[in-house]
Amino acid sequence: MVGNTWHYLLGLPGLRYYFSFNEREFIFLLSCLAIFILINISTHLKLIDLHLFVIGDAPSVTLVMAGMAVAGIYEKMAGKGNDASLWLVLTSSAVFFILAGFFIRPFSGGISEIHATPAWVFICTGISLLIFEILVWLIDIKDKRNWFHLIRPGGTSTLTCYLMPYFLYSIFSLIHFNYPAFLNQGIGGLIRSFAIGFLVIGLVGFIEKYRLRLKI
């Protein structure tokens, strides 16, 4: 039965921790998501010149609000007799965002993380939804929690994992370490990214054993 994945991804297996929204709050959340999407699209289509304080052209808040919306849907539907509808909502939403991303790509600066274009925001949202569904299926339905033990520190010490690369690259700078050219782009760059990712998670997992963890 669907219902435990959110706990596990948060590093809180067994705890009943939810993002809870009543109906009005959820409608307000979706309205905010729609507004942020419109700000992002309108800015990159050069329909408006709006850069709000902190929000800017709204790519980050759009991704965050989309995640909150998924959390709200998941909390309301998972394990409550609505699992079939949950799959339908998540899958159709993922397909919609991916198709919307490719549709708007030629008109809004392509797919660019650096420029936080709408296509990048939409496609990342869609892919994240699909991956979330896969994790729900593996963890809740197939009970494969042990498959993710290696990357568990990414969920239990997320902030530490986020900041660790800054320390690593500072050390690399001090010792004048540079990657070989083939690791800076293409397939080599992907291999390097995965390797550094697992290195960071491994280091964070090691220091977790000594109860060292950053918290907000």
pLDDT band at 200; cut points 50, 70, 90: very high
Residue 216 maps to a domain: no
Residue 62: pLDDT over 90: yes
Give the pLDDT score at 140: 81
Same domain, 38 and 136: yes
Give the pLDDT score at 206: 93
Which of 99, 122, 148 is the C-terminal boundary of a domain? 148
Q: Distance between CA atoms of 168 and 55, rounded to whole angstroms?
A: 29
Over residues 126-162, the pLDDT tens digits come to 999 999 999 888 988 888 888 888 888 988 888 899 8
Give the pLDDT score at 21: 63
Q: Which residues contact 11 (CB under 8 A, 6 or more apart)?
A: 152, 155, 156, 157
Same domain, 53 and 135: yes
Which of 108, 127, 148 is the C-terminal boundary of a domain? 148
Q: Distance between CA atoms of 115 and 158, rounded to whole angstroms?
A: 25
The answer to whether 29 and 72 are in contact (CB under 8 A) is yes
Same domain, 53 and 102: yes
Domain residues for the domain of 61 are 5-148
Give the pLDDT score at 18: 44
Which of 130, 148, 166 is the C-terminal boundary of a domain? 148
The pLDDT > 90 percentage for the chain reads: 44
Q: How many domains does the chain have?
A: 2
Give the pLDDT score at 216: 64
pLDDT band at 75; cut points 50, 70, 90: confident
DSSP state of 210: T
Over residues 102-116, the pLDDT tens digits come to 999 999 999 998 899
Residue 1: pLDDT over 50: no
pLDDT band at 199; cut points 50, 70, 90: very high
Give the pLDDT score at 205: 92
Same domain, 187 and 126: no
Over residues 25-61, the pLDDT tens digits come to 888 889 999 999 999 999 999 888 777 777 888 899 9
The answer to whether 204 and 156 are in contact (CB under 8 A) is no
Residue 3: pLDDT over 60: no
Which residue matches tokens 């699992």?
83
Give the pLDDT score at 20: 59
Q: Span 187-206, mean pLDDT? A: 92
Helix (H, G, I), strand (E, B) or coil at 52: strand
Give the pLDDT score at 6: 42
Over residues 174-196, the pLDDT tens digits come to 999 999 999 988 899 999 999 99
